[in-house]
Amino acid sequence: MDISRADGGSYTDNLIGTLLALFGNVLVSISLSIQKYSHVTLAGTKDLRVFYRTKTWWCGFVLTCLGEGANFVSYAFAPLALVAPLNAVSVLTSSILGLIFLREKSKPKDFAKRYGLSFVGCILTIGGTYLFVAFGPNSHEKLKAENIVKHFVGWPVLLYLLLEIITFCLLLYFYKRRSANYLVIILMLVALLGSVTVITVKAVSGMLVLTIEGNMQLDYPIFSVMFVCMVASVVFQARFLSQACKLYDSSLIASVNYILSTVFAVVAGAVFYLEFKNEDVLHICMFLLGSAFCFFGVFLLTKSRKRTKTFEPYVTMDMVNGVPTIHDKGLVVQPDSNSAFSYGALVNNDGVAPATLPVNLEQPPVGSRSTDASHGLPDLKKD
């Protein structure tokens, strides 16, 4: 970092915030890997509460709390433009852990062909992280309640919030009323809420740190306002993300959500906290270049992930043998239900024509059977 751009206090605070954010993102990725291992080992159990009785799941939960706590405190020391893009470290760590704990063996040529994009993504993410940390904003301000109120009532902030509210309402209208379930629309809603989240998290974290240092800030009304907005934005973010996960692939969601959320977080920090006010053009361009490297690196990392095939059985009726058979959707593609042969919920999913009833060619004709039956009857009295 360039120490000449700010005093020693700002440099030290930025260094503390950056290290806390790095530590928190690495810890969160490790905890998620541990919890995933716990879920994989107990995937066949019917009792869903069995996960809460394992040491690995609780170990991952504790590490998640520690990592998120470190991320929360980092906002009080470093600018938003430095903390928000560091979420790429979590994606990078998860990819490295996946390669380390990969159990399948493959030849070096096949390994390079399969994981070449992951390697390039790791290099781009590391290089981009260095650039935006080295050339990012180095100005830091003590977030007292009075300073937050001054930032909040400024006309740039009010104009930014007005545009954000209008954009959010328009996207929500198309999403709810027009059923526009596009990934970009859902993640734009998440990113708009995320910009409010990072603004409020930085304010709440800064006031909490000042309170711990001895300067009481919790009795100001702005603290309660920021805290309520923080909780509400986080809850609605989680709801929109859960809806996106039901419709689209998680790898695609991770890359697009990282890009959009980082862009809106950097813009929110520049408008609300004036983080790029004293920066020159060279540092801003290098910061943008580093962010672009991180965006492309995260996209390559998530694109090269191996998609897991979930077992989705469906039952069909074998019309020849008359017994139900279970098919795996991952191995046999289930055809559409708009086939010619269907009756209620029973569909000819095997794509074969309905079997005709077998005809016994050895049976005598109807006429012969009737004559034979007449001989077997007792003789009737004839007139």
In a domain, 263, yes or no: yes
pLDDT of residue 151: 85
Mean pLDDT, rounded, for 257-279: 90
Residue 102: predicted pLDDT: 53
pLDDT score recorded for residue 338: 41
Tokens 């300067």 belong to 215
Residues 85, 17: contact at Cβ < 8 Å?
no
DSSP code, position 325: E
The pLDDT assigned to 267 comes to 92
Torsion (CA) 343, 344, 348, 349 in degrees, nearest 10: 170
Instruction: Tell me whether residue 143 is exposed, middle or buried, using C-beta atoms within 10 angstroms of its C-beta: 0 to 12, 13 to 18, 19 or more.
Output: buried
Amino acid 310: pLDDT: 45
pLDDT surpassing 60 at residue 342: no
Q: Which residues pair with 346 in a beta bridge?
A: 343
Q: Residue 304's pLDDT is what? A: 64
Length of the chain: 383
Distances (CA, A) of 361 to 135, 365, 373: 89, 9, 20
Question: Would residue 291 count as lying in a domain?
Answer: no
Domain count, the chain: 1
Beta bridge partners of 313: 328
Q: Which residue has the higher pLDDT, 26 or 32?
A: 26
Q: How many CB atoms lie within 10 A of CB 7?
A: 13
Q: Indicate whether this model's pTM tops 0.85.
A: no
pLDDT in the model for residue 107: 58
Say if residue 137's pLDDT is above 90. no
Q: Is residue 330 part of a domain?
A: no
- Two structure tokens written together for 185: 């629309």
Beta bridge partners of 342: 347
130: number of Cβ within 10 Å: 12
Buried b (16+ CB within 10 A) or exposed e, 198-228: bbbbbbbbbbbbbeeeeeebeebebbeebbe
Q: Is the dihedral of CA 279, 283, 288, 291 positive or negative?
A: negative
Mean pLDDT across 111-125: 80
DSSP structure class, residue 326: E
Decide if 320 is inside a domain.
no
What residues form DSSP beta bridges with 316? 325
| Helix, strand, coil tally for the chain in percent (to 5) | 65, 5, 30
Please check whether residue 125 is in contact with residue 91, taking contact to mean a CB–CB distance below 8 angstroms: yes
Residue partners of 58: CB distance under 8 A and separation at least 6: 52
Per the domain annotation, does 51 fall within a domain? no
> Which amino acid, residue 7?
D
pLDDT at 323 over 90: no
Determine contact, residues 70/23, Cβ cutoff 8 Å: yes
Give the residue carrying structure tokens 């024509």.
353
Which of 103-117, 183-197, 368-382 is predicted most confidently?
A: 183-197
Q: Which of 75, 74, 78, 76 is nearest to 1 (CA)?
A: 78
* Sequence letter at residue 306: K
Domain that holds residue 230: 141-274
Distance CA 194, CA 216 (A): 27
Q: Is the pLDDT of residue 184 over 80?
A: yes
pLDDT of 339 > 60? The answer is no
* Tokens of residue 32, six digits: 């998620």
Residue 282 placed within a domain: no
Backbone angles phi, psi at 327, to 5 degrees: -115, 150
- In contact, 70 and 27? CB cutoff 8 Å: yes
Q: Torsion over CA of 285, 289, 291 and 295, rounded to 10 degrees?
A: 150
pLDDT band at 202 (very low <50, low <70, confident <90, very high): very high
Q: Is residue 197 part of a domain?
A: yes
Q: DSSP readout, 243-296?
A: HHHHHS-HHHHHHHHHHHHHHHHHHHHHHHS-TTTT--HHHHHHHHHHHHHHHH
Q: State the average pLDDT for the chain.
A: 77
pLDDT of 123 strictly over 50: yes
Task: Say if residue 341's pLDDT is above 60.
Answer: no
Q: What is the pLDDT of residue 54?
A: 80
368 within some domain? no
Task: Tell whether the model's pLDDT for residue 173 goes beyond 80.
Answer: yes
| Pairing mode of beta strands 342-343, 313-317 | unpaired
Neighbouring C-beta atoms of residue 21, cutoff 10 Å: 27
The tokens of 221 are what? Answer: 């009304």
